[in-house]
Structure 1
Amino acid sequence: MKPDATPVQLRLDRALDGLAVTFRAMTARSDENQCDCHWGSDEELALLKTPDVELDPDLLRRTWEAPDWQNHGAVLRRILPQFARELVAGRVDSWFGMHEVGRCFMRGDWREWPAQQSGAVWEFLYAWWLRSLLDPEPVVPVHELFAMCAEASGMVTPWLDVWEALHHPVTDRHLALAVDEWEYELLVDELPWDSWHDREALRTELADWLVRCAPERLRAVDASEELLHRVRLIGLSGPARWDDPHYPHRPY
């Protein structure tokens, strides 16, 4: 049975509207520049200094991907209402994974923005995360969105707390799929995505949470015994892990 997603969809819709209101009429700085050989034309740059003009998909992509804006926060505020709509519609692709999108947020230093602005971003991320957890077929796989939110915020705690509070077969199936994606790296004590934050702290918290919370929920959706053993092994270290008969000896 599908969960009733109407309330969380309404919350996401309101969050998107909140971004549109909060960042209306914002632009890149007038002295912002970019390489016309590798990024785009002066005319395209001028669009970022013009408020509330929709960017074509390719220009939007080049804008959020560029790591070298002089004032990344101003550029992010300029594109955020449109960028967020494209994200929730599944129209934003990242070659290396959605954590790259989170990195765009991080470069904008959005958590240091004024309270109304940072609050609007928090609400968008929370609302999208909640909506995706309750969606049997989210436009962005939950494990990818988790990495995006973690990289955007520098934390895994708030996203794990939401997941832990939601007990439903849909959220549990997402957990089984995430464990299947993550166990390869976690079994060699690596974070499952590339991060610019404290990787060891993030990995430790994620691993501890999985060992504590995942087994019961994986059993509830008939996950394989092999996957359950992988979670158990994540909680071990050294020879206790490597010498276990269920440890998967495979090339890394």
Structure 2
Amino acid sequence: MTDPSQQLRNALDELDAVFAPFSERPSAVGGCTYCYTDTDLEALAGPSHRVPEELIRSVAATSTDHWDDFPALYRRMTPRIVRLLATARLHVHHGLVASRLLAAELRTWTSPEREALEAVWHAWWPAALHAYPGTEPVTGVLEAISVSTGSLSPWLTVWAGTRTEAADRHLSDALDGWLFEGRLADLRLGSYDELHAAPELLSWLLSLEEGRIGAAQLFEVERIAYS
């Protein structure tokens, strides 16, 4: 069986291939000339694989009103953005990338494009769960994939079924963050709170097998759930 890291690499390569007819075709790009030089705009108008990584990072984070046609630009750059994100080289908050994908009208893209992106999510999530400590908290990965797909359920199901020390240690770390100052009681994901995660997370946490969550953390989860 292919290891999770190789599955992720394969999915990222397939994402490049599916988007290539659109992302590698030159396309006029207009944008804020205060923030972006003519050279930047010219680079963004060309094949996406030639765009410098620093410019990709900037596009990933910059607000939508900086571009004449934000949805088209972000869609063209998505394979580059997602590859940097999934390999911990983007240095942009995961929730912001998910929010930008929604703003880029992700759900109106072609079926092959959406399917290729979701295949990356399905490969990235197990790869993240199997590596501890990993290059980044798995809560960031969970935020990106759940907000962009609009659902926590499939990803939580995978986590529940991944009975490894790495996945359990990620769960303990995640709970430390979610329980800090009672955040879990009204946890929302995405830079604009697109996904209200608290109800589904609480239900899922309480459904996990006995011993999966430490006693102290479980006490706090139950206190929030039943208060």
Note whether the superposition's TM-score is higher than 0.5.
yes
Q: Distance in 2 between matches of 1:198 and 1:76?
A: 19
1:41 counterpart (30, 37, 44): 37
Structure 1 residue 78 corresponds to structure 2 residue 68: no
Report the CA distance shift for 1:228/1:215 in structure 2 as closer, same or farther (over 3 A). Answer: farther
Q: Secondary structure of 2:131's match? A: coil
Gaps (5+ residues) in structure 2?
none
Give me the TM-score of the superposition, normalised by structure 1. 0.79
Cα distance change, pair 78–199 in 1 and its aligned pair in 2 (3 A): closer
Match of 2:61 among 48, 60, 65: 65
Distance (whole Å) between structure 2 residues aligned to residue 86 and residue 31 of structure 1: 24
Rg larger for: 1
2:213 corresponds to 1:213? no
Percent identical residues: 26
Of residues 1, 17, 21, the one that matches 2:17 is 21
1:241 matched to which residue of 2? none
Deviation at 1:124, TM superposition (A): 0.6
Q: Deviations over 1:30-72 (max 9, x none)?
A: 454211113x112211222211443223211111112223433
Q: How does 1:46-57 map to 2 (within 5 A)?
A: 46-57=42-53
In structure 2, how many angstroms separate the alpha carbons of the residues matched to 1:84 and 1:199?
Answer: 20
Q: Which runs of 5+ in 1 are unaligned?
A: 238-252
Residue-by-residue CA offset, 1:220-245 (whole Å, 9 max, x unaligned): xxx3x3222112212212xxxxxxxx
Q: Which residue of structure 1 lines up, in the alignment, with residue 221 of structure 2?
A: 231
Residues 26 and 47, structure 2, Cα contact 8 Å, conserved in 1: no
Deviation for aligned residue 1:172: 1.1
Give the corresponding residue for 2:130.
Answer: 134
Question: Retained in 2: the 8 A contact 1:15–1:127?
Answer: yes
Cα shift at 1:188: 6.7
**Counterpart residue identity of residue 37, structure 1:** Y
SS at match of 1:36: coil
How big is the shift at 1:9?
Answer: 2.1
Deviation at 1:148, TM superposition (A): 1.7
Q: Mean alpha-carbon deviation: is it higher for 42-51 or for 80-89?
A: 80-89
Structure 1 contact 47–53 (Cα < 8 Å) conserved: no
Distance 1:195 1:212 in 2: 28
The structure 1 residue matched to 2:103, chosen from 103, 107, 125, is: 107
CA distance in 1, matches of 2:131, 2:171: 13
Counterpart of 2:199 (choices 194, 204, 207) is: 204
TM-score (ref. length: structure 2):
0.87
Q: Deviations over 1:2-55 (max 9, x none)?
A: xx9x432222121011111011142488454211113x1122112222114432
Deviation at 1:85? 2.4
Q: Which amino acid aligns with 1:22?
A: V
Partners of 1:236 and 1:70 lie apart in 2 by 48
- Given that residues 88 and 139 in structure 1 are in contact (C-alpha distance below 8 angstroms), is that contact kept between their aligned partners in structure 2? no
Secondary structure in 2 matching 1:24: helix
Are the structure 2 counterparts of residues 89 and 71 from structure 1 closer, same or farther at C-alpha, using a change threshold of 3 Å?
same
Q: Name 2:88's counterpart in structure 1.
A: 90
Per the alignment, in what secondary structure is the counterpart of residue 63 of structure 2? coil
